[in-house]
Amino acid sequence: MGDKNLCLFNIQKFCLHDGPGIRTTVFFKGCPLTCKWCSNPESQKMGIQPDREEAMAGKMYSLKQVVDICLEDKDFYLESGGGVTFSGGEVLSQPKQAKELLIQLKEHQIHTTLETSGFVKPSVFKDVIAFADLLLFDLKHYDEEKHK
């Protein structure tokens, strides 16, 4: 099954608002920001933690497990022009895993979308996004002081 080295918050199927067509959205856990309006504060901390309902938020996966789950809906992607979207949390907080997943999904001809706030080293940003078909860049604010 391979090493479980990818920490996810959720995997959601039949998403219609995370890129073109019908998509599976893979929610990475861990984020370097702490936005006050964050709708998923349980996604901010890296690693498994208690959530608001006292259940556990987060689960470790192997890359193969995630690819296999995504491939279950390949027919829907092909029919609708969809694919797989990486969201979070911050996808680029687990850059090696994100890059490898993008490569493996591409080997299966799956369209990939990467959603990010871009809050990561420029070298990491460039290295990973090069393997995604579509980038959804979530610019929080263009003024550093107002952003803070």
Residue 49 sits in the site that holds ligand SF4 (CB under 6 A): no
Minimum CB distance to ligand SF4, residue 11 (Å) = 16
Residue 88 sits in the site that holds ligand SF4 (CB under 6 A): yes
Nearest CA among 87, 82, 100, 73 for reference residue 138: 87
Whether the CA torsion 130, 99, 40, 17 is positive or negative: it is positive
Supply φ then ψ for residue 16, to 5 degrees. -115, -5
Nearer to ligand SF4, 25 or 73 (CB): 25
Residue 73 sits in the site that holds ligand SF4 (CB under 6 A): no
Nearer to ligand SF4, 33 or 56 (CB): 33
Q: How far apart are CA 83 and CA 107, in angstroms?
A: 13
Measured CA to CA in angstroms, residue 104 lies from 59, 66, 96 at distances of 20, 10, 12
Q: How far apart are CA 115 and CA 28, in angstroms?
A: 10
Minimum CB distance to ligand SF4, residue 75 (Å) = 31
Site for ligand SF4 in 29-48 (CB under 6 A): 31, 33-35, 38, 43-44
Q: How far apart are CA 1 and CA 111, in angstroms?
A: 24
Q: Residue from 18, 42, 73, 90 that binds ligand SF4 (CB under 6 A)?
A: 90
Task: Read off the tokens for 3.
Answer: 């090493």
Nearer to ligand SF4, 60 or 136 (CB): 136
Residue 18 sits in the site that holds ligand SF4 (CB under 6 A): no
Residue 137 sits in the site that holds ligand SF4 (CB under 6 A): no
* Residues making contact with ligand SF4 (CB under 6 A): 31, 33-35, 38, 43-44, 88-90, 117
